Amino acid sequence: MSPETLSTEQLRASAIEVLRLNDLGTMTTAAPNLYPHMWSWDAAFVAIGLARFDVPRAITELRTLLAAQWTTGMIPHIVFTDDDTGYFPGFERWGTAGAAALPAGIKSSGICQPPVHAIALLHILDRARENGGSDREAAESFLAESFDGWLAWHRWLATVRDPDRVGLVEIHHGWESGFDNSPRWDGPYSRVVPGAVEPFTRRDTQHVTDASERPDDEEYTKYLWLVQQMASVGFEDRAVQEVIGFRVRDVFFSGILAASSDVLAGLGEELGRHDEAAELRQLAVRFRDGVASTVDPGTGLARDYDVLAEEWISTDTVSGFAPLVAGGDRILLDRQRQLLRGPQWMGHPDLRFPLPPSTSPTSPAFRPRTYWRGPVWPFLNLLFGWASMRDGQEALSSELRSASLEQLSDLKFAEYYDPLTGRPLGSFAQAWTAAAALEWIG
Ligand code: 2M8
């Protein structure tokens, strides 16, 4: 259906229906079949969407996630529901049951995902304050109740995952980046040599039209080997760093930590937590500088760093725009915006919609239908839109908004889209895609 014939109200109603469909009461599944559990950064985007029509439910989403926080401060990347049969690897296979830092009664994975949560909390507060009354009261009391949890999360990332204080977050699995099989990780994964991995049966390939949209079995073997390595030391932070075969400084994760730390600092100031707010502002500066330090002067894109191979990772992927998320230096950001709108990215002549693909169509690594190797991810566009508004770049935000609304008017709420044909791919009724639609509608 074209956007002319589809009313905003229809799009909104369908997006709400998707969030209701995925709602298990106190958590939202990332997708009905492919992802029947709660994912950390999905939950944050879901909360942004929920806040557009149900502030108390949005608060519940973040509260559920925070209840799974490990005693170290880490927020796990998956919080499992009791029905553990639909997804692989489930709780049993993760082997986190024996981890000393897992809170009692919680079933979770043993790794994390990018910290978009403070940004979600800010959205909830903004909506609640517009609504006033009990929404406002609930959101403000949730802020007071949860601030220390988010603070512990940011502190854990800044210490355990940046021990050398370089302003870049170290990850130990492609899943931690959220960009699972991006060309960013081809180099590091090529050096992961799996030992004996227990036999496994995947479930993900049953829920997509074409299995080649997903990572292959060889990739999965490496993913599971890394999980086994972590489990072998009980997911203890220091020991994991010693044994793990994948250590990468993730620039996009770091950009999110910078942006989110600034937001959390602002919320801390509201609560009169001035020392903690000052600490968070310093973190924001450290990670913003860290991100800026990775920019390749030739390409203008930010880069990841492979700690074990001691080398920069240069790929034409959307993570190269981490400075736009982190904020900061005007000259750098102006140059990045120009690049983003240029012919390698949003301005590429073959694109169905002018939206950034996960890998540039001009890159030899570009695969238009394969997961994180080329498709457009709607939730990422929302993140870039938010950062643009924060930096007073209304024109860019509005370009992203109108193209996104057009893309999402197919009402499939797909996990990702083919950038060239606009075809919806991966899971349909994906929760964070519906949430992005709701937030774009406003
Ligand atoms: C995808 O990742 C999971 C593993 O965490 C998977 O493929 O099984 C990624 O797109 C990730 O970014 C996302 O959070 C998750 C749920 O939507 O799916």
CA of 178 to the centre of ligand 1 (A): 6
30 lines ligand 1 (CB under 6 A): yes
3-state secondary structure of 368: coil
Asked if ipTM goes beyond 0.95, one says yes
Among 22, 91, 173, 175, name the best residue to mutate to test ligand 1's pocket (greatest count of ligand atoms within 8 A of Cβ): 175
> Is the pLDDT reported for residue 1 higher than 60?
no
User: On the CB side of 142, how many CA atoms lie within 13 Å of its CA?
Assistant: 26
Contact indicator for 326, 258 with CB cutoff of 8 Å: yes
CA of 441 to the centre of ligand 1 (A): 25
- pLDDT digit string, tens, across residues 286-323: 999 999 999 999 999 999 999 999 999 999 999 999 99
- pLDDT value at position 5? 62
User: Which residue among the candidates 17, 140, 180, 410 is catalytic per the annotation?
Assistant: 180
Residue 86 confidence (pLDDT) = 82
Closest residue by Cα to atom 11, ligand 1, is 178
The Cβ of residue 217 has, within 10 Å, a number of other Cβ atoms equal to 11
Which atom of ligand 1 has the smallest separation from the CA of 372? 10
Instruction: Kindly list the domain boundaries of the chain, sorted by start residue.
Output: 8-441
Q: What is the pLDDT of residue 2?
A: 54
- How many Cα atoms sit within 13 Å of 257 on the Cβ side? 36
Q: Quick one: average pLDDT of 378-403?
A: 98
Q: How many beta carbons lie within 10 A of that of residue 195, not counting itself?
A: 9
4 has a pLDDT exceeding 60: no
Please report, for residues 49, 56, 223, 252, the alpha-carbon distance to residue 174 in angstroms, rounded to integers and kept in the order given: 26, 33, 8, 12
- Cα 439 to Cα 71, 131, 275, 295, 297: the distances in Å are 33, 16, 33, 30, 35
Contact (CB, 8 A) for 256 and 325 = yes
pLDDT in tens, 86-136: 899 999 999 999 999 999 999 999 999 999 999 999 999 999 999 999 999
pLDDT at residue 6, as a whole number: 81
Q: Is residue 248 exposed (0-12), middle (13-18) or buried (19+ Cβ within 10 Å)?
A: buried
**What pairs with residue 305 in β-bridges?**
249, 312
Confidence band for 82, pLDDT divided at 50, 70 and 90: confident
Q: Lowest mean pLDDT: which of 187-196, 208-217, 270-279, 309-318?
A: 208-217
The answer, yes or no, to whether any atom of ligand 1 lies below 6 A from the CB of 175, is yes
Q: Report the CATH architecture of 8-441.
A: Alpha/alpha barrel (1.50)
Q: How far is the CA of 33 from the centre of ligand 1 (A)?
A: 13
Q: What is the pLDDT of residue 209?
A: 83
Alpha helices in 182-247 (DSSP H): 186-190, 217-231, 237-243
pLDDT band at 170 (very low <50, low <70, confident <90, very high): very high
Residues ≥6 apart with Cβ < 8 Å to 62: 43, 44, 47, 117, 120, 121, 124, 142, 146
Ramachandran quadrant class, 228 (left: phi over 0; alpha: psi -120 to 50; beta: rest):
alpha
Q: For residue 335, give the nearest of 319, 323, 346, 343 by alpha carbon.
A: 323
What's the average model confidence in pLDDT over 19-43?
97
- When pLDDT is averaged across residues 82-87 and rounded to a whole number, the result is 80
The average confidence (pLDDT) of the chain is: 97
Sorting pLDDT into bands at 50, 70 and 90, what band is 146?
Answer: very high
Quote the CA–CA distance of 119 and 382 in Å, as a whole number: 12
Predicted local confidence at residue 133, as pLDDT = 98
- Report the nearest atom of ligand 1 relative to the CA of 178: 12
Task: Decide whether any atom of ligand 1 lies within 6 Å of the 42 Cβ.
Answer: yes
How far apart CA 150 and CA 60 sit, in angstroms, is 15
Tokens at 414, concatenated: 């797909």
CA distance 135 to 147: 18
Buried b (16+ CB within 10 A) or exposed e, 258-275: bbbbbbbbebbeeeebee
What is the structure's pLDDT at 432? 98
Mean pLDDT of 389-414: 98
Query: Active site includes 415?
Result: yes
DSSP annotation of 196 reads -
pLDDT tens per residue across span 334-348: 999 999 999 999 999
Q: How far apart are CA 315 and CA 257, in angstroms?
A: 21
Spell 315-327 as b/e; 16+ CB within 10 A means b.
bbbbbbbbbbbbb
Q: Is the CB of 35 under 6 A from ligand 1?
A: yes
Q: Tell whether ligand 1 has an atom less than 6 A from the beta carbon of residue 414.
A: no
Which of these, 336, 352, 442, lies nearest to 396 by C-alpha position?
336
Backbone Cα Rg of the chain:
20
180: annotated active-site residue: yes
